[in-house]
Amino acid sequence: MSEVIKEHELLSNYQKLNNSFRKKTLIYRIGFRYGFFSEYNNMIFAMLYCLENKMRFVLYSKHANFSYEKGWNDYFMPFCEESSDNFHFKHNYRDPLSTTFFEKNHPSVYLYNIIHPNHYLTFKIWDKFRDRKNESIVYNIPELGINGDYKNACRTLIKLTWRYNLHTQNSINSLIHSVGLPENYIGIHIRRGDKAIETEAIPASKYIDNIQKMSNIKHIFVSTDDYNVINEIKEQYKDLILYYLCKKEETGYDQLNFNNLSAQSKKTDMDLLFASVDILCNSQAFVGTFNSNVGLYVGMRMPEDKAESVDLEKWQIW
């Protein structure tokens, strides 16, 4: 009971603090066109930047690409004020690289800035809240119990935002139960699919080698978007006991394909993603890639000594 009260107080304190910032407001658009954890991680970075710079944080999720009906509240409990202004669907783009879209509608944005001189659109401060210099700041926000480094501050913001609504929580619980996990297991995340366009795929053996250096636990939960990864591990490591939610027909995630799914298919895929990530975060140890957004998220949420990356020496904004 005390933990529930504590979480409620954390949320209440955040809302009170956030709403006290009236001189500047960021309208953060989530679900522009990228993968969920790319959108979510940057939301956390933006929230922390706003707290540090006394800027009110407002969410826009009405047309989020992961949504099947309402936006953020399809899956999660609300945590801040939301804008429903369709202006943000047409003109509030995610990052400076997206301004080619915005430039075609420059008069509308100019007019918006005249009417709302203290409102900032997402791309306007994108480079500021993603600046790696932020990692070196010691954050002191007593209202939220934050007094420490960047990752610890982000972990607190995850705690107050990562709150499923009842329908999603029931679905996640059912999916996790279906895996049949033991009490002690290791979690690994191996992303293939369209990630291979950005960076060369790392062999599954490298993940397993890291696991074997960390622990002698043989029960491994594998989070992957490609069932070939499961077969690869099974063939090379006969002594490991694998658990997974990946389906045999999956051959790699593609964001463009996801964006074109039906509402129900999106919900199904998102529930599977959330269940997989929660399983990873509850593992005894995690091995993944910090240059994937799932790995970046897990690296923020888990204690530092329990999460390792096969591609970067340490966690960082990227």
Domains of the chain are: 2-161 (no CATH), 166-309 (3.40.50.11350)
Q: Is the confidence at residue 225, as pLDDT, over 50?
A: yes
pLDDT level of residue 161 (50, 70, 90 thresholds): very high
**Calpha distance 198→213 (Å, rounded):** 28
How much is the pLDDT for 250?
A: 85
How much is the pLDDT for 115?
A: 82
Nearest to 88 by CA among 11, 25, 130: 25
How much is the pLDDT for 4?
A: 39
pLDDT tens-digit map of 275-303? 999 999 999 999 999 999 999 999 999 99
pLDDT > 70: percent of the chain: 93
The structure's pTM equals 0.92
Backbone angles phi, psi at 26, to 5 degrees: -105, 130
Residue 232 half-sphere exposure toward CB, CA atoms < 13 A: 16
pLDDT level of residue 178 (50, 70, 90 thresholds): very high
Calculate mean pLDDT across residues 169-191: 97
DSSP the chain: -HHHHHHHHHHHHHHHHHHT--S-EEEEE--SSS-HHHHHHHHHHHHHHHHHTT-EEEEE-TT-TT-SSSSGGGTB---S-B---THHHHH--SSGGGHHHHHTTHHHHHHHHHH-TTEEEGGGSHHHHT-GGGGGPPEEEGGGTEEE-HHHHHHHHHHHH--B-HHHHHHHHHHHHHHT--SS-EEEEE--TTHHHHSPPPPHHHHHHHHHHH----EEEEEESBHHHHHHHHHH-TT-EEE----TT-B---HHHHHTS-HHHHHHHHHHHHHHHHHHHTSSEEEE-TTSHHHHHHHHHS-GGGEEESS-SS----
Q: Which residue has the higher pLDDT, 170 or 113?
A: 170
How much is the pLDDT for 103?
A: 52
How much is the pLDDT for 220?
A: 97
What's the angle, vertex CA 36, arms to CA 248 and CA 198, rounded to 5?
75
**Radius of gyration of the chain from Cα atoms?**
20
How much is the pLDDT for 102?
A: 53
Q: Is the confidence at residue 3, as pLDDT, over 90?
A: no
- Cβ–Cβ < 8 Å for 77, 163: yes
Calculate mean pLDDT across residues 126-155: 96
pLDDT level of residue 114 (50, 70, 90 thresholds): confident
Q: Which residue has the higher pLDDT, 309 or 255?
A: 309
